[in-house]
Chain A
Amino acid sequence: MITGNVWALIGAAVAALAGIGSAMGVGIAGQAAAGVLAEDPKKFGKTLILQALPGTQGIYGLLMAFLIFIRIGLLGGGMQDLSVAQGLYVFASALPIGLIGIWSGIAQGKAAAAGIMLLGKRPDQMAKGIIYAAMVETYAIFGLLVSILMLFNLGI
């Protein structure tokens, strides 16, 4: 039988899935970065900054998973007994960052890759490339925010 605790842990797992988006996004940006580097190896540091930008979704997912662990007392041994309804609450709270993280990470990776191309041609315009990529991140942040507010106001 699926208990509330199982639902809560599935929730933590779903939150951590945001890492899929980051992995793909960082990968996409990394490919573009390698291309730019072939022309000018001195740009390594700058491309790395842009490549790191889509990495945040994974961190938000990790963050949410840990928050769930702490809330349900998984870390430290004394796990609470949650009712199925409570477990489903926790599960629901993990959905926003888990799902938004996946797609926003991929989309941000594409924007970051374009920013890296921009960096290759016009290094002075790099900051704008960063801002474009950061525009995408807004929605991952909102996802995280909704997740956190849901979890913290559950009263577990």
Chain B
Amino acid sequence: MEKLAVIGLDTVKEELISRLMDLGMVEITDQSARLAEEDWVGLGVRDGNEDEVAALDAEINRVDTAIELLEKYSTAKSPLFFTRKAMKKSEFEKIMRDKDRISQNVDYIMGLNERLHSCREIINKRNSELASLTPWVSYDLPLEISETQCTRIDLGVVPSTVDIDGLRKAIGDDSEYVSLHEINRDKDMIYLVIISLKEDQDAVIARLKQWGYSPVPFREFRGTVTENTERITREVAETRGQVAEIEAEITAHDDMRFGMQCLQDRLVMQRDREKVKSRLLKTKRTFNLEGWIPSECRKSVEDVLEEKGCCYEYRDPEENEEVPVLIHNTRFGTPFSAITEMYSLPDYRGFDPTDIFAIFYALFFGLMLSDAGYGLVMTIFCAVVLHKYDLEGMTLKMIRMFLYCGIATVFWGALFGGWFGDFLPTFTQTVFGHKVPLNPIWFNPIEDPTKLLIFSLLFGVVHLFIGMGINAYMLIRRGHLFDAFCDVFAWYMIIAGAGLWLGGGSISAALVAPGKWVCIAGCVIVLLTGGRKKKGAGKVIGGLGALYGITGYISDILSYARLLALGLATGVIANVVNLLGSMLGTGFKGCIAMIIVGVIGHVFNMAINALGSFVHASRLQYIEFFGKFYEDGGEPFDPFRKNTKYVRLVNDTDGGMK
């Protein structure tokens, strides 16, 4: 990474910004902090037009809503993987010539959206009216009649706990001429009609209120309750019909979607160009731009800058500067950078281990899934997806990674003789009554798990040693040779020595004694040097503390036992699936049963174990491997580029990333 500083004339600014966007190689940094510096005060001001950005944002939101609406009612099947459509720039420009028409389409769809909303509102309102009227259906006076010449008619409710006879009696005490009808009753309420003399009304209502009465006015209705409910039901049905019509209309206009997506992308690019200006500084006629640029990209950017007649210079990052990180891996390693990115990018001054752990990741994954049949299915699936879809970014990396992992799974599966478990032997035994054995190339871990356990732990030791080796490399590169010796090489001696001391006897008895002495020597070094950075008594205790770190190494190594356990789990469950299938019959019946049970069981087993393998292969990198050396916390390099969602404009570079 290098820091690029550019000064140019205002007249070329717009063009330069679009060219840089095309290149997608420069991360333009915000410079407003500069303005506070003494040299800059009065010299320049911050560039950018926030109103313009806000207006574009509003427009983007509008188009987005329209696209979402079209998507929601679209009958077109959405693909398994979403991909951006690759498109030539000239083609894109051609579509954009119809910008006004597309914009009208957006208006049209938004109009439909509004109608849809108002229809839904009407339906909601009518439905709530219906709900309030329903309890009153047996009340057969027109609702607009609230009084006769001498009486008043009141409708209202009391809680269902009220004793109606008691209430009647209480009212009877107040007024002789009151008629109280119970219309309906449900869980919560009793629905009442009260007819009283006009002069008594206030007293009656006051009395009723003491009993928890609340009036239910129906002022806005004309006609009887039944008439009203019929009318409202009809209206709701009509409005529902309208909604369906509008929805059908939206569905019918699904062809507008692509144009809108192009418009959306165009607006986003326009907005980004406008927005990035706020990171520049300007004087009356010039502008100043700064940004990070990967050293390999200098040439292409320089060409543009020369062409536009700008002054520019580069400088290396300063000691304490936050530099964005762009990791660069080999062809095999690149897909695995998805795993690194998921953790956190390495610090700019740290070490990117992706290329190193890639092979371990694939091998561990394969060892945990450990069934050649599953591996084959995975490999073929990934290969087909890669062939069929024009994937980008994280999805592309993941699918490629699983392709490699699938191949590793086939490798281990073949070594252990697992092809959908023991499908072939069981199948032939069940169907033909004659067992065709399928022998493993190496050995079957179900028969000898201890052997694979030892190999799993050995893999772990190799993996850990490499992680520690990277730590030593970093220490030496920074000039701490002695630290590398005490903190890494001494531990190499302890672990390797202990391994020989305890396990070397099974290979050759001559290995035990040297192993013992190497291990002890390592312990002594750690004991003597562990406290070297402490003071006083800490120097003595520090050594003991450092040696106690051996528990950490033991637990790290044991953690690799999961390679065996998960591998066995896959194999045994696959066998159980085959066994269950074979128990249902023999001959032709057995054949059908084994295939049906096999498809369901193996798909399930593969899915759950592939998930487990992915998770635990990642964990072994994150906790055991990264724990030994990794310095994380790098900010990802985010160049100024076309951040489009639907269309990928081709015949321009993409910044080497994403």
Contacts and interface: CB of A to CB of B under 8 A. Distances in A.
B618 A142 contact: no
Nearest to A65: B576
A72 interface: no
A138 B559 contact: yes
B565 A134 contact: no
Given A49-B611, A130-B615, A152-B449, A63 B561 contact: no
Interface in B567-602: 568-569, 572-573, 576, 579, 583
B608 A128 contact: no
Interface string A123-137: 000011011001101
Contacts of A156: none
Contact of B450 (A137, A141, A153): A153
A148 B559 contact: no
Contacts of A127: 342, 618
Contact of B608 (A59, A148, A153): A59
Nearest to B614: A130
Contacts, number: 70
B475 interface: no
A141 B612 CA distance: 11
Given A128-B342, A131-B619, A60 B569 contact: yes
Contact of A149 (B453, B572, B623): B453
B608 A55 contact: yes
Interface residues of A, number: 28
Contact of A141 (B342, B565, B611, B622): B565
Given A66-B572, A127-B342, A128-B342, A56 B619 contact: no
B279 interface: no
Nearest to B569: A63
Interface residues of B, number: 27
Nearest to B616: A134
A82 interface: no
Contacts of A142: 558, 561-562, 565
B573 A134 contact: no
B566 interface: yes
A67 interface: yes
Of B453, B559, B611, B623, chain A has the most CB atoms within 10 Å of the CB of: B611
A49 B342 CA distance: 17
A66 B576 contact: yes
A145 B565 contact: yes
Contacts of B559: 138
Interface in A28-70: 49, 52-53, 55-56, 59-60, 62-63, 66-67
B366 to A, nearest CB: 17
Given A52-B611, A75-B579, A128-B342, A145 B561 contact: yes
B623 to A, nearest CB: 8
B564 interface: yes
Contacts of B608: 52, 55-56, 59
Contact of A134 (B450, B558, B572, B619): B619
Contacts of A53: 611, 615
A144 interface: yes
Contacts of B342: 127-128
A134 to B, nearest CB: 4
B531 to A, nearest CB: 31
A142 B450 CA distance: 14
Contacts of B572: 63, 66-67
Contact of B564 (A66, A128, A137, A145): A145
B565 A144 contact: yes
Contact of A131 (B449, B450, B612, B618): B618
A63 B573 contact: yes
Contacts of B565: 141-142, 144-145, 148
B435 to A, nearest CB: 14
A49 B615 CA distance: 11
A148 B568 CA distance: 9
A21 to B, nearest CB: 16
A69 B562 CA distance: 23
A59 B569 contact: yes
Contacts of A52: 608, 611
A145 B450 CA distance: 10
Interface string B606-633: 0010011001101100110000000000
B562 A141 contact: yes
A64 to B, nearest CB: 9
A135 B611 CA distance: 14
Contacts of A153: 450
Contacts of B611: 49, 52-53
B567 to A, nearest CB: 11
A152 B579 CA distance: 20
Nearest to B612: A56
A41 to B, nearest CB: 12
A36 B562 CA distance: 32
Contact of B576 (A49, A63, A138): A63
A144 B368 CA distance: 14
Contacts of B558: 142
Given A55-B608, A75-B579, A131 B566 contact: no
Nearest to A144: B565
Contacts of B619: 131, 134-135, 138
Interface string A103-147: 000000000000000000000000110110011011001101100
B295 to A, nearest CB: 29
B561 A134 contact: no
A16 to B, nearest CB: 13
A75 B572 CA distance: 14
A67 B447 CA distance: 11
Contacts of A145: 453, 561-562, 564-565
A105 to B, nearest CB: 14
A53 B573 CA distance: 17
Nearest to B448: A152
A92 to B, nearest CB: 17
Contacts of B564: 145
A131 B617 CA distance: 10
B612 A149 contact: no
Contacts of A60: 569
A63 B421 CA distance: 14
Contacts of A62: 573, 576
Contacts of B562: 138, 141-142, 145
B347 to A, nearest CB: 18
Interface string B526-569: 00000000000000000000000000000000110110111011
Contacts of B616: 134, 137, 141
Interface string B445-468: 000011001000000000000000
A144 B450 contact: no
A134 B616 CA distance: 7
17 contacts: A55-B608, A56-B608, A56-B612, A60-B569, A62-B576, A66-B576, A127-B342, A131-B615, A134-B616, A134-B619, A138-B562, A141-B616, A142-B558, A142-B565, A145-B561, A145-B562, A149-B453
The 6 A-B residue pairs with the shortest CB-CB distance, nearest first, are: A127-B342, A134-B615, A145-B565, A141-B565, A141-B562, A66-B576
Given A128-B342, A141-B566, 6 more contacts: A59-B573, A62-B573, A66-B579, A67-B572, A134-B619, A135-B619
